[in-house]
């Protein structure tokens, strides 16, 4: 089978299952919005500049809802041992990995597409008209987080207590992308010139490339018992 | 490159095959040769290694010892993905997505196997499973028996050369049971190789040309099914499950 058709097939199936069940969409969105509400009540943003805390608030919401998305995505494969159905198929197993990454990126992007405008209103801030850079930064860091998260979720999915193991493995590995995401967002919120944070954007891009490439190459072994 | 399956090339050839999970030995030093078109019943008490052996043959797990060739190709080779196209596997689990309809489930697998006309293949399979009237209902609303019928349809849809069935009669009512027996007979007639793991000795003896008995991961008996007495098999397995428990 054509490699990219297999990627699309896996991603489309995840989206279709989610559209039917709506389990993930509701959980992710409410979790992310709850984070915004809690931070809004915890800090007096008339005194504290949102630039100082804003990136942290946003990325706590995105990262933790991302963990939920990844965890749920592989729970779907664990139930009824569906992952075996995929492993039996005559496709390159890395196509399954990329399909899962694509679906997770879409779920996280949907949350971000709602959370960013809501937080603009809630915290009364602007990205100083740099929409293209904001989108680029969100895409790069979301892809990085989904890439590493999907890899570790696949690694732990066939182990006992995989759901407990996932955050233990994922959070240390995701530190570079989380750091780059928070730093870039802080600079974007402050309206600083691109040169000031270009290195963080480059880090995110390099992280994406390294993790996607390594995962595609190693995924067959990751799924070994 | 997948080798051609001529009469000289066995469908399954295992030499000193072993599978360990840490200290637990699931399959040990197993030598086996199954010719194309042969129908084999796999018996054994719980924990004998039947499911592990089927998973090894399905290329879902790699052996920790020995060598396994399917249709002349090493099952651990990089060609395993092409080899998987020739395998149909039915496990204890159905592999079905409860939020998708019966037809969508089959379509998903038909496309995953890159069947030339996935829609026709899925429709034909759902008809064969006698689930056409429920094809647009979500699988979550199906009974256990209906899910099992759909899972069987999924395993057979791509017309595999090697059928690996782990307790396929689980959850089936009497008519579905009879239909599956007829389907297996058809598959046998079509020259497909079939390995059927079951606890139902009578069923296995009826469906197979040859009988294998496993106990504690070792091959205990390898005989033609014809003339084999069910009572003898029961006694053999009881004795070995009792000795296995005593040893542990």
Print burial letters for B171-188: b (CB count within 10 Å at least 16), e (below 16).
Answer: bbeeebbebbbebbeebb
Q: Which residues of chain A have pLDDT under 70?
A: 1, 128-129, 225
| pLDDT at residue B239, rounded to an integer | 77
Residue B8 backbone dihedrals phi, psi, to 5 degrees: -80, -20
| pLDDT at residue B241, rounded to an integer | 67
B contact residues 16-35, partner A, Cβ 8 Å cutoff = 21
Residue B162 is inside which H or E element, if any? strand B162-166
Interchain contact B116–A (C-beta under 8 A): no
Nearest to B82 by CA among B114, B111, B107: B114
Does residue B6 surpass a pLDDT of 60?
Answer: no
Residue B27 backbone dihedrals phi, psi, to 5 degrees: -135, 135
Interchain contact A90–B (C-beta under 8 A): yes
The domain locations on chain B are: 12-86+160-247
| pLDDT at residue A114, rounded to an integer | 94
The domain locations on chain A are: 3-222
Q: Distance from B56 to chain A by nearest Cα, in Å?
A: 11
| pLDDT at residue B244, rounded to an integer | 55
**Which of the 8 DSSP states describes residue A89?**
S
Cβ-Cβ contacts under 8 Å between A and B: the total is 76
Determine the average pLDDT of the residues in B148-176: 91
Determine the average pLDDT of the residues in B165-174: 87
**A contacts of B95 (beta carbons < 8 Å):** 80-82, 84-85
pLDDT, greater one: B24 or B77: B24
Contact B100 A17 (CB under 8 A): yes
- pLDDT over 90, % of chain B: 62
Determine the average pLDDT of the residues in B54-81: 89
Q: Distance from A141 to chain B by nearest Cα, in Å?
A: 30
| pLDDT at residue B176, rounded to an integer | 83
- pLDDT tens digits, residue range B88-144? 999 989 999 999 999 999 999 999 999 999 999 999 999 999 999 999 999 999 998
Sheet of B73-74, strand order: B24-34, B12-21, B65-70, B73-74
pLDDT, greater one: A104 or B232: A104
User: Which residues on adjacent β-strands are paired with residue B194?
Assistant: B39, B163
Q: Distance from B11 to chain A by nearest Cα, in Å?
A: 17
Look at the block and give the residue holding tokens 């796999």: B42
In chain B, how many H helices and how many E strands? 8, 10
| pLDDT at residue B121, rounded to an integer | 97
Among the ranges given (A65-74, B39-48, B184-193, B232-241), the one the predictor scored with the smallest mean pLDDT: B232-241
Six-digit token pair at A8?
């699309």
| pLDDT at residue B157, rounded to an integer | 96
Give the right CATH number for B12-86+160-247 from 3.40.1160.10, 3.40.50.300, 3.40.50.720, 3.40.50.10440. Answer: 3.40.50.300
Q: Is B96 helix (H, G, I), strand (E, B) or coil?
A: coil
**B contacts of A224 (beta carbons < 8 Å):** 61-62
| pLDDT at residue A1, rounded to an integer | 64
Q: Distance from B83 to chain A by nearest Cα, in Å?
A: 7
Complete DSSP assignment for A21-88: H-HHHHHHHHHHHHHHHHHHHHS-TTTS-HHHHHHHHHHHHHHHHHHHHHHHHHHHHHGGGHHHHHHH
Contact B60 A87 (CB under 8 A): yes
| pLDDT at residue B5, rounded to an integer | 45
| pLDDT at residue B243, rounded to an integer | 58
| pLDDT at residue A225, rounded to an integer | 63
Q: Distance from A15 to chain B by nearest Cα, in Å?
A: 11
Residue of A nearest to B94 (CA): A80
Q: Is B81 exposed, middle or buried (0-12, 13-18, 19+ CB in 10 A)?
A: middle
Does residue B57 surpass a pLDDT of 80?
Answer: yes
Does residue B2 surpass a pLDDT of 50?
Answer: no
pLDDT, greater one: B80 or B60: B60
**B contacts of A225 (beta carbons < 8 Å):** 21, 61-62
- pTM across the whole model: 0.89
**B contacts of A90 (beta carbons < 8 Å):** 81-85, 113-114
**A contacts of B104 (beta carbons < 8 Å):** 16
């Amino acid at each position: 089978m054509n490699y990219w058709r297999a990627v699309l097939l896996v991603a489309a199936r995840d989206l279709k299952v989610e559209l039917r069940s709506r389990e993930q969409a509701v959980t992710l969105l409410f979790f992310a919005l709850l984070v915004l509400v809690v931070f809004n009540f915890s800090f007096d943003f008339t005194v504290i500049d949102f630039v100082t805390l804003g990136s942290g608030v946003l990325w706590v919401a995105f990262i933790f809802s991302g963990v939920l998305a990844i965890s749920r995505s592989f729970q779907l494969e664990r139930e009824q041992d569906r992952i075996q159905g995929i492993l039996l198929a005559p496709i390159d197993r890395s196509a399954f990995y990329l399909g899962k990454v694509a679906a997770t990126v879409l779920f996280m992007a949907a949350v971000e597409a709602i959370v960013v405008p809501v937080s603009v209103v809630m915290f009364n801030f602007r990205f100083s008209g740099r929409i293209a850079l904001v989108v680029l930064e969100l895409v790069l860091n979301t892809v990085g987080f989904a890439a590493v998260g999907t890899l570790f979720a696949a690694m732990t999915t066939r182990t006992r207590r995989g759901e407990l193991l996932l955050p233990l493995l994922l959070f240390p590995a995701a530190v570079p992308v989380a750091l780059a995401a928070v730093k870039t967002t802080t600079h974007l919120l402050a309206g600083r010139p691109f040169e000031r944070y270009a290195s963080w954007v480059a880090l995110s891009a390099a992280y994406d490339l390294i993790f996607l490439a390594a995962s595609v190459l190693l995924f067959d072994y990751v799924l070994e018992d | 490159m997948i080798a051609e399956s001529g009469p000289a090339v066995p469908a399954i050839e295992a030499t000193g095959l072993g599978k360990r999970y840490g200290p637990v030995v699931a399959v040990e030093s197993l030598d086996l040769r199954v010719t194309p078109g042969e129908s084999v019943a796999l018996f054994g008490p719980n924990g004998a290694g039947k499911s592990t052996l089927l998973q090894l043959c399905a290329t879902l797990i790699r052996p920790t010892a020995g060598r396994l060739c399917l249709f002349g190709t090493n099952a651990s080779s990089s060609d395993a993905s092409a080899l998987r196209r020739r395998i149909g596997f039915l496990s204890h689990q159905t592999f079905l997505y409860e939020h998708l309809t019966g037809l969508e489930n089959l379509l998903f697998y038909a496309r995953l196997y890159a069947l030339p006309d996935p829609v026709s293949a899925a429709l034909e399979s759902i008809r064969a499973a006698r689930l056409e009237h429920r094809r647009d209902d979500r699988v979550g609303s199906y009974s256990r028996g209906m899910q099992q019928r759909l899972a069987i349809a999924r395993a057979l849809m791509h017309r595999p050369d090697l059928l690996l069935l782990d307790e396929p009669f689980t959850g089936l009512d009497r008519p579905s049971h009879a239909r599956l027996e007829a389907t297996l007979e058809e598959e046998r007639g079509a020259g497909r190789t079939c390995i059927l793991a079951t606890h139902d000795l009578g069923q296995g003896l009826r469906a197979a040309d040859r009988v294998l008995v496993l106990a504690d991961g070792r091959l205990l008996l390898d005989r033609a099914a014809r003339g084999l007495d069910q009572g003898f098999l029961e006694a053999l397995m009881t004795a070995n499950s009792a000795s296995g428990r005593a040893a542990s």
